[in-house]
Amino acid sequence: MHRVYTKIVQIAGDVVTVEAENVGYNHIAEITTQRGVSLAQVIRLDGKRVSLQVFAGSRGCSTGDRVRFLGHPMRISASENLLGRIFNGSGAPLDNGPALSENLIEVAGPPVNPVKRVIPNKMIRTGIPMIDVFNSLVESQKLPIFSIAGEPYNELLARIAIQAEVDIIILGGMGLKYDDYLFFRDKLEEEGALSRCIFFVHTASDPTVECLLVPDISLAVAEHFALQGKRVLVLLTDMTNFCDALKEIAITMEQVPSNRGYPGDLYSQLAARYEKAVDFDTAGSITILSVTTMPGDDVTHPVPDNTGYITEGQFYLKNGVIEPFGSLSRLKQQVNGATRPDHRTIMDTMIQLFASYRETLEKQAMGFQMSAWDKKLLRYGKRFEKEMMSLNVNIPLEKALDLCWEILADCFTPEETGIKPSLIEQYWPNRQKKKGQIVV
């Protein structure tokens, strides 16, 4: 029997405090207000005073409203019936389909025992050279796209999702613009992927706090499928909105802020979600791709900063391309040794030369005379930007590696690249043919 309480003693921000007894920490309650029923979660117990964060926001809440405790933490139905469906941030259907209540699982479950994880070793091919060659994506990786507002991050996310070979795609939208939501839906439908997708969408017009549940719900469902041996890809966009909701609640609860108003446990909160990415020993896997928009393109902002310390690298989206500096896939070493013997060398050499090119660009901008070496670098950099970095390029890894050799041979002599002689012998494109093109 669920007890109902009516003694709301405080409403501040999106937190209401009610006097109640025998309430469990983190449990879920339903608040019935004149605007309808909203879910709320217990975030502090202090004697009889129970503080709840109200997911639909406290606007319109009255001190006489009824609070019914459900006696358990947040739960979500997890079954095949979810596939192809669209839900809101609290798990209620948005697509006129029936509400689901079978096989309820608790969200935000316990962490995975590290010894039951396996070392990730399966590369996810995307056809984007900046990812495949330079920062390979790996199954069970957790990787955010760092970006400023206005960059095509959702397009990139959708493109990777469609090209990645996974069984199930779960989209968790937080503060998603309505057109972006439609974009995802239409794009996935176009590619015939909608039937293996599940959407949990909190749009920008919904109350901010409601997005707090989205990552937990998405990942709980993902975990359910992964345990059944499925390979699940979870897309979370945009995690900065999630962090801002955390900040809002923390300030309402009068927590001492640590950095720019964000709570001191921001790191742990983010880690609890991102660490759900896993490759289970003898079961499936969860890969997390997320978007973190950086206010003012500032990577030292607490949200991207804490995220970077948790995730296994990041893609840095800037001016419409994946920036080679700052972008990193920490797991690439697990897979790029087994692709082709030249993969790692090409990756390092190309980037080192590109770094020199950027320095040369600076010199050029300041009006310095360009040496012969500078000219070579300029030629190289231009080709690299056009044929590698552009997001329009869609070629398999092997083709991309061949193209890298061709660009190198076109711009430099073998010694100038600093590549080991044994690799030069094997891969350097036929020098006779190219000789005429070498600029000295």
Partner 1 sequence: MITKEKRIGKITRVYGNMVAVQIDNVVVQNEVAYIWHRDERLKAEVIRVRANTAELQVFESTTDLCVGDKVEFTNELLCVELGPGLLGQIFDGLQNPLPLLAEQYGFFLKRGAYLTPLAEDVEWEFTPLVKPTDKVRAGDKLGFVPEKIFKHYCLVPFGWQGIYEVIEIVPLGRYNLKTPIARLRDTEGIIKEVYLKQLWPVKIPIRAYQEKLKPTEPLVTKMRLIDSLFPVCRGGTYCIPGPFGAGKTVLQQLTSRHAEVDIVVIAACGERAGEVVETLKTFPKLIDPRTGRPLSDRTVIICNTSSMPVAARESSVYTAVTIAEYYRQMGLHVLLLADSTSRWAQAMREMSGRLEEIPGEEAFPAYLESRIASFYERAGIVRLNDGSIGSVTIGGTVSPAGGNFEEPVTQATLKVVGAFHGLSRERSDARRYPAIDPLISWSKYKAVIPEKYRQRGIEVLRRAYEIAQMMKVVGEEGTSLSDYIEYLKGEFFDFVYLQQNAFDPVDEACPAERQKYTSEFIYEILEAEFLFEDKQNALSFFQKLRQLFRGWNSSVWQSEEFRTIEQQIRNLVEEKRLKKEPHHA
- Contacts (CB under 8 A) with partner 1, residues 280-309: 280, 283, 299-302, 305-306, 308-309
For partner 1, the binding residues in 152-211 under the rule CB under 8 A are: none
Measured at the CA of 128, the angle between CA 124 and CA 134, to 5 degrees, comes to 80
**Cis preceding-peptide flag for 238 (omega within 30 of 0):** yes
CA-wise closest residue to 357 among 337, 341, 376, 344? 376
For partner 1, the binding residues in 399-428 under the rule CB under 8 A are: 415-416, 418, 420-421
Q: CA 346, CA 339: separation in Å to the nearest integer?
A: 12
Looking at the Cβ atoms of 205 and 300, the one nearer to partner 1 is 300
Instruction: Output the six-digit token pair for 391.
Output: 């997001």
Q: CB–CB of 171/198 below 8 Å? A: yes
Looking at the Cβ atoms of 127 and 295, the one nearer to partner 1 is 295
Binding mask 119-158 for partner 1 (x = CB under 8 A): xx-------------------x------------------
CB of 371 to partner 1, least distance (A): 6
Render the burial of 278-297: b for 16+ CB within 10 Å, e for the rest: bbbeebbbbbbbbbbbbeee
- Examine residue 373 and tell whether it contacts partner 1 (CB under 8 A): yes
- Examine residue 275 and tell whether it contacts partner 1 (CB under 8 A): yes
Name every residue whose Cβ is closer than 8 Å to that of residue 136 and which is 6 or more positions away in sequence: 123, 124, 329, 331, 332, 335, 336, 339
Looking at the Cβ atoms of 88 and 290, the one nearer to partner 1 is 290
- Examine residue 113 and tell whether it contacts partner 1 (CB under 8 A): yes
Q: Contact with partner 1 (CB under 8 A): which of 1, 2, 22, 192? A: 22
CB of 309 to partner 1, least distance (A): 5
- Examine residue 45 and tell whether it contacts partner 1 (CB under 8 A): yes
Q: Contact with partner 1 (CB under 8 A): which of 118, 164, 251, 395? A: 118
Q: Contact with partner 1 (CB under 8 A): which of 84, 109, 207, 429? A: 109
Q: CA 42, CA 15: separation in Å to the nearest integer?
A: 9
CA 405 to chain centre: 32
CB of 47 to partner 1, least distance (A): 6
